[in-house]
Structure 1
Amino acid sequence: MIISASKRTDIPAFYSDWFFNRLQAGYVLIQNPRNPHMFSRVRLNPDVVDCIVFWTKNPYPMLAKLDKLQPYDYYFQFTLTPYDQQVEAKLPSVKQRITIFKQLSEKIGKERVIWRYDPIFISPEHSIEYHKQQFSYLLAELKDYTQKCVISFIDHYKHLHQTFNARAIKPMTNEQINELAEYFAKQARQAGIVLETCAEEVDLEQYGIAHGACINLQQIEQIIQSPINAKIDKNQREACGCIESIDIGTYNTCLHECIYCYAITRQNQVIINRRQHDKLSPKLIGQIEPTDIIIDKMVSSVKTKQDSLF
């Protein structure tokens, strides 16, 4: 089983105490998105968890606790973009996050820290030239601390239309995408960094940019040193190449206040959810209630019988 922690929120930044308590307890409760009182109980023992994929913009609160992950294999998807606090209101400065990125890489190895330059958007303050300059700057800082960079272009979700219109953020044209892709690819190639896209239908192979997968079969096999039997996750977008995983996060719980976030539909709900969070609870938000229905989810390792890739 692959655990995703999490595409729905930033667990390393805000909920690491809860996460480690769940590992110690050996299970987590995951809410059914269609029924708020229905939960799946998922085991988190090392014998069934083959790999944990962390998604974060600020793993600093977790850095001192990484030794608690010793029985598990894992890697980080670390989003580090150049935007200021008008776009990513509650994040540390870019310089601080560069330092955190390097600290994480030095602790766990650069092969386990994926840099995400994501999402890319164009606005009056964020031009093509802005992205060229900022990508080059970040690449120069991070090239010795990662092996791969993942890019994607902003998605215009319905609940974000008002914000995007107010900031003159429009869908990128093919010309804009190709101009940036060509430049990014050249810079990444010179730095020895693999460049891939995330869930993008656009074909950028002509620049050497492959369609990537964030929960990546080959990456996981390399990290856990074992082949696995895993299928493409059919519950994701059509262009997504991720393999099946179980996400333990909850929507409307991230506190970074990024203007482009797909996982926040109501900011007032984020405040309510945060108040209800208990690091000792088996579920991310709130406590078990009498009306809750809990069903044990059948999970198992997806490793095949071969002991090692080598």
Structure 2
Amino acid sequence: MFVSVSRRTDIPAFYAPWFMGRVREGFCLVPNPYDARRFSRVPLSPRDAELILFWSKNPAPLLPCLDELDARGYAYAFTFTLTPYGPELEPGLPDAGARVETFERLSQRLGPLRVDWRYDPVLLDARFTVSYHEERFARLCERLAPLTTRCIFSFADPYPHLHGRVRPAPEGEMRVLAAALVRIGSAHGLALETCCERIDLSDLGIAHGACVDAGRAARILGRPVSAAHDAGQRPGCGCVRSVDIGAYDTCPGGCAYCYATHAAARSRARYAAHDPAAPSLTGPLPSGARVDERAMPPLCEAQTRLPL
């Protein structure tokens, strides 16, 4: 199985010690997002976790752990989000220069194929205009394009819990900006793909992408990968199946547009009370908890040897 670490919270940035403890124990317990008393037991041995996908805006705290992951035989890759919004909207992040340096270190160690760049979400409003994004994207592209193979982006969704902090972008503005991003990316040899976007931008040369992509995974692992679609994701998602070991409302980063944090105070409180030795990111199991085994068939096809 593929393991996502994590779409629901930034484990590399805030919970690296917990994750490494779970790696050493060989499993973790994942809370059901809809039932606080139900947990899944997810095996994390290198045999079970065929590929680990790290999702992060600041994976620097995990970098010292990569030697151990390598020594234990894990295959892994990163989806690294770098956006141009600053501390007003992203208060829990280091400055952009430090994060670009982290991106460089990761790419130099792992190679461009194993470090995707997410320019996501794209906010379009009176402050974050098309010209604003053109200028900032061009600066980032100049630094990051040689370090990755693609840039994945999507336009911000106005989730109800954001209480109007995000407005839906008009399709005309989306298309104008997308054309500009393609022009800038092409000048640097960088392919662009969208994530969970309903708008069709194929006429601009932008494909509907998949963050957990079977083709990319096959190139990383050196063997064929099943393209089983992840039916548990939102409409428009093209990702293959993976198991997410994170939990909602646990990220203390405080990003104003976050889809995974419904209550910032709850997230901060959970982070403050976090126990790195607990089997679950959310701490000890509550009374009466039920634990189910999470078994998934392998996604990697067995390698065959040609007769000599």
Alpha-carbon shift at residue 161 of structure 1 (Å): 2.4
Q: Which amino acid aligns with 1:103?
A: R
Question: Which residue does 1:100 correspond to in 2?
Answer: 102
Question: Which residue does 2:53 correspond to in 1?
Answer: 53
Q: Which amino acid aligns with 1:69?
A: L
Q: Could you tell me the percent identity over the aligned residues?
A: 39
Cα separation, 1, equivalents of 2:109 and 2:64? 10
Report if the CA contact (8 A) 2:92-2:253 is conserved. yes
Cα separation, 1, equivalents of 2:26 and 2:226? 23
Question: After the TM superposition, which segments of 4 or more aligned residues of structure 1 sit over 6 Å from their partners?
Answer: none
Alpha-carbon shift at residue 296 of structure 1 (Å): 1.7
* TM-score scaled by length of structure 1: 0.95
Question: Which residue does 1:303 correspond to in 2?
Answer: 300
1:182-218 CA distance string (max 9 Å, x none): 1111111121111100000111111111000001111
Report if the CA contact (8 A) 1:21-1:280 is conserved. yes
Correspondence 1:30 to 2:51: no
Alpha-carbon shift at residue 305 of structure 1 (Å): 2.4
Cα separation, 2, equivalents of 1:126 and 1:33? 33
Correspondence 1:151 to 2:129: no
Report if the CA contact (8 A) 2:157-2:167 is conserved. no
Question: Which residue does 1:229 correspond to in 2?
Answer: 226
Decide which of 253, 258, 272 is 2:255's aligned counterpart: 258
Question: Which residue does 2:86 correspond to in 1?
Answer: 84
Corresponding residue SS for 2:250: coil
Structure 1 residue runs without a partner (length 5+): none
Write the mapping of 1:182-261 to structure 2, written as runs, cut at 5 A. Answer: 182-261=179-258
Q: CA RMSD in A?
A: 1.3
Alpha-carbon shift at residue 63 of structure 1 (Å): 1.0
Q: How many residues align?
A: 303
Decide which of 118, 123, 126 is 2:125's aligned counterpart: 123
Question: Which residue does 1:140 correspond to in 2?
Answer: 142
1:60-112 CA distance string (max 9 Å, x none): 10111111221111110100001111111111111111111111111111111
Corresponding residue SS for 1:64: helix
Question: Which residue does 1:64 correspond to in 2?
Answer: 64
* TM-score scaled by length of structure 2: 0.95
Return closer, same or farther for 1:104/1:92 CA change in 2, 3 Å cut-off: same
Return closer, same or farther for 1:307/1:57 CA change in 2, 3 Å cut-off: farther
Alpha-carbon shift at residue 122 of structure 1 (Å): 1.7
Correspondence 1:112 to 2:114: yes
Report if the CA contact (8 A) 2:125-2:169 is conserved. no
Q: Which amino acid aligns with 2:110?
A: I
